[in-house]
Structure 1
């Protein structure tokens, strides 16, 4: 199972309505196991991140007014990819994790930029 990232807009009753994803984009945000192994890991929390670590216990919802702070956190994660990526393991080498996390982070950041343009929020689930 995989994590997905989507953009939402709030309707007149405060409910979330998913915005259409661009045809050339990707909604992949990582493997389900990344909730705790990557995004919600102690390495991410130790950076002072406050959004991504919530994935360890549930879905991540970024309200429209929080998107600028979330984009800053995406930049913080990107600057620390080598520290966040798991070490060489039995399954994959460290560099594979760095590349995969970078690609999924790009998808999340792209969604946040789309959300910012339309006054929407972001959900990773």
Structure 2
């Protein structure tokens, strides 16, 4: 299974409405195992991340008012790809792991930026 990233808004009744993924974008946010091996890993936690480690316990829901801080956390992880990839336990070469994490972070950043433009939130599940 894969983790997915979606953008949502709240309708008049307060119910979340998930938006379609636009053409040219991807909703892939990593493998299910990445909840603990990447997003909730010691490497990510040691950077001071507060959003991504929540995925180790379940879905992550970023409220609209927290999206700017979430974007900063995505950028923090992007700037530390090599150390994160190097600390993963995987038979894949570090460069391949780094590339896969980069691709998923780019998808997450794209979703977060779309959410920011419409004052929406982000969910990874």
Q: Could you list the per-position Cα deviations for residues 54-93 of structure 1 after superposition, in whole angstroms to 9, with x for gaps in the alignment? A: 0001111100000000000001001111111145866311
CA RMSD after TM alignment? 1.3
Structure 1 residues 101 and 118, CA gap change in structure 2 (3 angstroms)? same
Which residue is 2:23 aligned to? 23
CA contact (8 A) 1:9 1:121 kept: yes
Equivalent residues of 2:5, 2:124 under 8 A apart: yes
Per the normalisation by structure 1, the TM-score is: 0.95
| Cα distance, 1:15 vs structure 2 | 1.7
Relative distance call for 1:22 and 1:80 in structure 2 (3 A) is: same
1:22 aligned counterpart, secondary structure: coil
Q: 2:70 aligns to what?
A: 70
Which ranges of structure 2 fall in alignment gaps of 5 or more residues? none
Correspondence list, 1:81-96, <5 A:
81-87=81-87, 91-96=91-96
Aligned residues: 125
Q: After the TM superposition, list the runs of 4 or more consecutive aligned residues in structure 1 that deviate by more than 6 angstroms.
A: none
Structure 1, gaps ≥5 residues long: none
